Amino acid sequence: MKRADPIRVWLITSCICLAILMPVCSDVLLAGEAEPAKTPGVRSISLEQAIQIALENNRTLRNSALDVSSSDLSLKTQQSEFDIKVVPQGATRYDSADFSYWQVGATVSKKLSQGATFEVTPTTGESGGGRNSEIDVSLRIPLLQGAGAAYAMDGVYSSTYSNKVQQLTFIQEQINTIMQTVSAVYGCIRTQQQIEFLQKQLDELKKHLSLAKIKEKSGIIDAMDLYRAEIRIQDVEDELASTQEELANNVDEVKNLLALSQKQPLIVSAPVSYSPVEISLEEAQNIALANRIELVKSTMQVKETERRVAVARNNILPQLDLELGYNNYREEDFSDFDEERWTVALSSESDIFRTPERNDYQQSRIELQQVQLDHQDAEEQIIQDVRFQLNSLEKQQERIRIRQEQSRQAMGKLRLAESKFRYSLANNFDLLEAQTEMQQAQTDQMVETINYIVGTYRLRSSLGTLIDLKGGATVN
């Protein structure tokens, strides 16, 4: 019986071990929710939870909410001008050479929405040793300038407009906060996935290095293969350290957006699957024109400017007021009035030429033309933005298809390189190159997928449907 060659037996045994130990990289399908392993003491939140926390705690958003509260108070101050006002009055004096003097009363006034002002002032007191009482009633009516609710309530209307604009600004801040949170969370998901890919590649490289050392000692491969593996391991370790640092920065950004303590360890998760957007350009543009906050604000600004033009035109009119008065005065005997008077008067204090008022009116008309042009520009910008977002998603989807094909090709190349190196038909140059290309193809596919998901949020923001305009904080 012929004795087997020890070298041949060792080679066959080594090939069998390599076939068992060499892992086969599988294609990574991005689906479902990226759920990192939970660690005790570490807070884990989903994308939906992150958005909700940001809407409740974000400091910029809370500051904008305070601006809305301040605007509410300013509006109430303007509205209080038309409330019933009661102003108490009182005076007293003592003189050793004369009788004591005192008087008390109150002025009750009410400004009407049409511009008229009504006042009633009852008083009673003592003077010169005798008691007296008096009631004074007056009604002041503007006949030209300021006559009518459209002009008398100018301050209220201006404050109402400012208040609505502030509320819409707050909603816009909510949209911005949601978009920042989505981008920051998916920034974390991207780096988490990269770390997983790199760690997996590093583990495979270390296994390959162990086997390469065995083959190098047996003379199957030379020292160059060993150096290649060691250098590639160092490159991956360096890339892994940089990505881990990037992940830490991304997590800190999420904490800042959510107003969480920077000392709190945090892990975020988010879906990494998507459904292709199916909407026509015309439909998307119509939705955006009906829902975008910028266009709502622009429409409000046009209407407010038109109202201010009317007010400026009214201010050109001279001031002419009609004053009606009634006065009733009596002394001692509270059953008989000593004196009763009625008055009717016209008063006017106006510059004849009205040059400042006429200039203000012309300036308001120029401002109206400007805001109308701005409104048209806002519409065109929105239409352009929607087209850009849809085109971007379409191109992004094509890039995903290309990345998937690249991953498939990289997988085939990797398996071929593994087989050739396993049976000593080639050195490890092709294998290391194939592993690198496979890791890069997986990373590129994952990045493009995340970019598409974030792009769908940008499209919803562009359409004005990211949140409910009435509810404000409800994510669609």
pLDDT tens digits, residue range 310-329? 999 999 999 999 999 999 88
Tell me the C-alpha distance between 160 and 76, whole Å.
9
Looking at residue 454, what is its pLDDT? 96
Q: Give, in order, the Cα–Cα distances in Å from 267 to each of 35, 191, 274, 447.
A: 9, 12, 22, 19
Proportion of the chain above pLDDT 70, given as a percent: 85
Provide CB contacts within 8 A for 38, sequence distance 6+.
44, 267
Closest Cα to residue 201, out of 227, 228, 239? Answer: 239
pTM assigned to the model: 0.82
Q: Give, in order, the Cα–Cα distances in Å from 287 to each of 66, 114, 259, 290, 354.
A: 31, 40, 33, 5, 47
* All domains in the chain, ordered by first residue: 43-85+154-318+354-463 (1.20.1600.10)
**Burial class, 155, CB count within 10 angstroms (exposed 0-12 / middle 13-18 / buried 19+):** middle
pLDDT at 33 exceeding the cut of 60: no
Instruction: Please report how the helices 281-291 and 355-422 are oriented relative to each other, as an axis angle in degrees rounded to 10.
Output: 140
Q: Give the pLDDT mean for 417-436.
A: 79
Looking at residue 284, what is its pLDDT? 96
How does residue 210 score in pLDDT terms, banded at 50, 70 and 90? confident
pLDDT at 411 exceeding the cut of 50: yes
3-state secondary structure of 141: strand
Closest Cα to residue 105, out of 136, 138, 140, 128? Answer: 136
Looking at residue 27, what is its pLDDT? 35
Average pLDDT, the chain: 86
Instruction: Tell me 467's DSSP state.
Output: B
